[in-house]
Amino acid sequence: AQRLALYGHCKVLSVDYELAPANKILSIYQDGFEVYQWVREHASELSIDPDRIALGGDSAGGNLTVAITHACKQNNFPQAAFQVLLYPSVDLTMGFPSIEEFATGYFLTKKGMIWFRSHYLESPDQAQDAGLAFLEKDLSGLPPAYVITAGFDPLRDEGVAYAGRLMREGVNVEHLHMAGQLHGFFNMAGALKGAKRALDAASMALGRALADPAK
């Protein structure tokens, strides 16, 4: 968060949103949407421009970011100016080949994902809910996006697919695929050169997207 603020030349709000298992997926989504609404409504107190706000997150945080953009569209609420999606989870059915390809031995495991999902969803059947099928929704009109995916990540294929869908729907997308990285690598910039490169790239993209057009 500090590096994003420094190199993105912006203020960063790190949100302590509701978590499972005490809260389930739709409650978490609503919490995220309400936080975004609060930030816009209190923009003057925060000394920020309400029309230059970005949303972002990694993994489940990427899923929440996606959910907030769709909530804005559904509720005719102003979209964020930009979104940063770091190896986002967008397919709760776990139906892509990379789930099996990297099921074990690559930090995030299929068994772990099933365990997380069991706490996140109201029931296993909820994974099939059309309202949660972001890859099947109309993605037109969503904010410009910077998407990062990792080559050795069970979530690789769904992240790549979502970036592709956004592009086909006319959304301005920059997609950085880090072929040699694992899930969660973005938080390892102190140890991995690839992670530092990705963090710097995302920060600069954020800075470009939120730059004051008057300057």
Q: Over the stretch 164-190, which tens digit does the pLDDT of each residue have?
A: 999 999 999 999 999 999 999 999 999
Rounded to the nearest angstrom, the gap between the alpha carbon of residue 105 and the centroid of all alpha carbons in its chain is 24
> Across the chain, what does the average pLDDT equal?
97
pLDDT band at 214; cut points 50, 70, 90: confident
Q: Which amino acid is at 16?
A: D
Which of 195, 191, 190 has its CA nearest to residue 176?
A: 195
Distances (CA, A) of 16 to 26, 96, 117, 160: 16, 30, 20, 27
CA dihedral 111, 184, 89, 46 (to 10 degrees): 140
The label of the residue with tokens 């706490």 reads 119
- Across residues 75-89, what is the average pLDDT? 98
Give the pTM.
Answer: 0.96
Q: How many residues does the chain have?
A: 215
Provide the annotated active-site residues: 59, 153, 183
